[in-house]
Structure 1
Amino acid sequence: MRYVTLMDIYHHHITQKYVNRSGMAHAISCAYHAFHLSGKHKVNPDLATKAALLHDIGHYTWYRDGEWDFSLYKANDIHAIKGAERAHKLLIRLGEHPKNAKDISLAILLHTDSYLPKGNLQLTPLQEVVHLADQADEEPAGNHHYRTISPSKAKKMLSTLDQMVSDKMNRNLLEKDSS
């Protein structure tokens, strides 16, 4: 059962403020990647697409002398930590099931290891899907954050993805019931 749709998330003013700041086109592209990866990794497509859509909601803008400073960002950014907290609060306010909100937030927290000390971290399949979805859409020097998308195209793409997620979840449920 889906408690909150991607369109519900998209229309919220917090999403508009922070996901637009970090790149709505990138976020939507990652959500599509996560959808396709969810089957391969046997992950709930609803959770995967939501986490991928929100994975950069914690970004801060790192500027020096009025110019974006990628090195300052790489050295000091902890957007995944802020993003996990911000996404959790947003999802709970929208009515997401608390366990789902927690799982999505943890996937956001661990979608990048850029701020973590070096070592081995064992990711859950959901966390791995969000990490891979982000990597699949990355461009050098963070350029993926600057691609643009019109609001009408964003809505159309997310509405289509919502339908794809619902259809896949219904198929999975039917397959489960028939076995």
Structure 2
Amino acid sequence: MSRLTLLEIYEHPIAQKYVHRSGLAHAISTAYYAYQFALEYNVNPDLAVKAAFLHDMGHYTWYVNGEWDYDLYKENDIHPIKGAERAHKLLIRLGEDRVRAKEIALAVLFHTDSFLPESPITRTPLQEVVALADEADEEPDGKHHYRYISPERARKKIADLDRKIERTLNHFYDESAGAP
């Protein structure tokens, strides 16, 4: 079975709709951070990058009188719940392995604790990598969601990240098989 690529995910209309809504530049940047953290923490980079790319696809818009209301958003936010559901459904639709799709969806769910009243989260290594990647790209007052990236540059960066993952996974499988 061939690996579902990040570019295949990006090109799907559901990803186009929800990833653009929450900030394509932020999604790509967070995916790059997740790749680096995955290598550092010995986590599968394919899962980490997919979860990081999709982590905010559950965002709602919270506007009052045409202005973004960050406080209202923080008070009523449940985007990780909706995002996990959307990510899981999208990944299954695209043919991702069901176990992997669930791991990715749970990493989307636990990338933040903003939806929890007070309890701290105990995260798996994959979930921690995605949370760290998101934190690494954050800007005050949610401004990271409004950075611009052209469609051409976005495709180039996503394809580049797919190549990095492929090389990393090939290297891992070569080493585990005992190949030089």
TM category, shorter: over 0.9
Q: Deviations over 1:111-151 (max 9, x none)?
A: 00011132332100000000000000000000000001000
Is 1:145 the counterpart of 2:145? The answer is: yes
CA distance in 2: counterparts of 1:120 and 1:177, whole angstroms:
39
In structure 1, what is the equivalent of residue 90 of structure 2? 90
Matching of residues 69-108 of structure 1 within 5 Å: 69-108=69-108
Q: Deviations over 1:47-92 (max 9, x none)?
A: 0000000000000001111111101000001000000000000000
Matching of residues 7-156 of structure 1 within 5 Å: 7-156=7-156
SS in 1 for 2:105: helix
| Residues 30 and 133 in structure 1, CA contact (< 8 A), matched pair in contact too | yes
Name the Cα RMSD after superposition: 1.1
SS in 2 for 1:178: coil
Q: TM-score, normalised by structure 2?
A: 0.97
CA distance in 2: counterparts of 1:114 and 1:140, whole angstroms:
15
Amino acid at match of 2:94: L
**How far is the alpha carbon of 1:2 from its aligned partner?**
5.1
Q: TM-score, normalised by structure 1?
A: 0.97
Structure 1 pair 53–2 and aligned structure 2 pair: CA distance change class (3 A)? farther
| Residues 56 and 83 in structure 1, CA contact (< 8 A), matched pair in contact too | yes
CA distance in 2: counterparts of 1:23 and 1:94, whole angstroms:
22
SS in 1 for 2:58: coil
CA distance in 1: counterparts of 2:159 and 2:16, whole angstroms:
16
| Residues 110 and 121 in structure 2, CA contact (< 8 A), matched pair in contact too | no
| Residues 3 and 97 in structure 1, CA contact (< 8 A), matched pair in contact too | no
Amino acid at match of 1:30: T
SS in 2 for 1:28: helix
CA distance in 2: counterparts of 1:41 and 1:116, whole angstroms:
26
CA distance in 2: counterparts of 1:91 and 1:70, whole angstroms:
30
CA distance in 2: counterparts of 1:16 and 1:64, whole angstroms:
25
Structure 1 runs (4+) greater than 4 angstroms displaced: none
Amino acid at match of 1:8: E
- Greater shift in the superposed pair: 1-10 or 87-96: 1-10
% of aligned pairs identical?
60
- Greater shift in the superposed pair: 63-72 or 43-52: 63-72
CA distance in 1: counterparts of 2:2 and 2:115, whole angstroms:
32
SS in 1 for 2:33: helix
- The number of aligned residues is 179
